[in-house]
Structure 1
Amino acid sequence: MPEITPIKTEAELCEIFIRDMNAQPGWTCYPETGGFDILVVHQDGRQIGVEAKLQLNAKVADQIMPEPWQFRYGLKGPDHRLVIVSKITDASTGIAKLLGFMGVPVLTPQGGYASRDSFDKRMEFCSYKLRDLLHGSGYFNDGELFDWNPEERCQVPMVVPQVAAGVPAPIRLTPWKEKALRALALLRNQGFITSKQIKELGMSPTAWTQSSSTKAWLDKGSAPGQWLATDRTPSFDKQHPEAYEVAAAELAAKIGAQLELAP
């Protein structure tokens, strides 16, 4: 029987976690969201911020904890925090124990089988351990998720980003980029866009129309106040095609509603 291949990258670790966590009823994983490697969101709104590392060390402990000043100005973040690592060694046991006492469980995958009818082995996060974690039904200090009670939760993207989690320099679907996708949809629908429309979407028009460090993303149109697409206009839609489809559909629905309300 073939041996299980050890986990070699954080991206592989995240992929395994996302697969097994998405199998839990009501939960959805959003890669590279909210400043975490993975943001897990329940259908009732609860959130878990997840940081992944091959080796558990002080750096990941620092990354998963909120900054002290955040409590002074209003904590924004997930309800719960979680760390996943490929393994816990003798050297990192103390860090795992400390994080556990602070309400941040540390999970590791184990060897299992791909299915009940299969003898193919694979690494997995055990389903019953995930259920205990989510329901708070484990032993004391064994998977207890502390409720950080944030004043504001992380903004959830319009779609699940189709990007890999746990990779260097990830392409993130940020709240700003969602606004930019809506601007692109409007630009393409009208054939132009105005500075006022860009501001109404919650963005500064500077980078679009009058950037000083690099050439602006848009060129002036023949009509006053209109700006046109150029070959410098960022192709955010190619980075996040699913999100762009949502932005375009939102615009189409809005235009349709305006036409229905028009006298």
Structure 2
Amino acid sequence: MPTSGCGRFGDIWLEPNRACRKRHLAASERQAGTSVVSCPTDLGWDTLADRLFKIRHCQDIEGRLRQLPLFDPPIDPGLLVRARAAGIDLRSALRTTSERPHYRYVVMQQKALEFCGEVRALGAALLAAFEKRDAAGVDAAPPRASGRARHEAYRQVEEANESLEALRKSRQTVEKRLEFYASREFMNAGEVTTIAHQKTAHDYEFASQTLALYASILHLILSHADPGASGLAETTRDACGCWISPAVDRR
């Protein structure tokens, strides 16, 4: 089926077949078919991602894993491409063209330790020079600076004395309040009488509750034993009421 351009999202518009052309369909009635358009830029990015993956995972151009030595000289990418195009083994090409280092790891470690010692010595010398310069600056301070320092010290002493005086006044205020409250009675006569009456009322109430309990038990026993003895239980309840009334009045 012939095509007639692409849509906004890469959809290829398909023209109707010849049998339908006789209907003179409008352009908006054309059918849309989904298709993936090849893009050289996208393919290039895919190739770049593949090359980076192989480099990061120590693989060659064909994806085979390579075990590189720890102290191998740097690799020239252009040399690898030329060797691959010429059909030469990459390992042999690197061995023949690369320069071997002049020193081994033991020698390089010794030199590095020597450089570290020199750096430490330089730091110690700089620190000593800074300390000497600070001491010389303090010794060479003008008398005016010393006078300002003494004046500042005097002001600090005066401020401390003022704070001490304020603390003394606060202590005097607290002592006066303590003397005032200590000279007052804890409770007046009315409060003492009220507390005594409340205690007596509590005792009466407790006694009345106890007698009411005994009266209920006695009423239950006498009701089952002798129906004519229920008057004794009523008398006990009245006695409990006599104990409760004074308790309520005292409260």
Interval containing the TM-score (normalised by the shorter chain): under 0.3
Q: TM-score, normalised by structure 1?
A: 0.17
TM-score by length of 2: 0.18
Q: Determine which structure has the larger helix proportion and give its number.
A: 2
Higher relative contact order (CA 8 A, sep 6+): 1
State which structure, 1 or 2, has the greater radius of gyration over its C-alpha atoms: 2
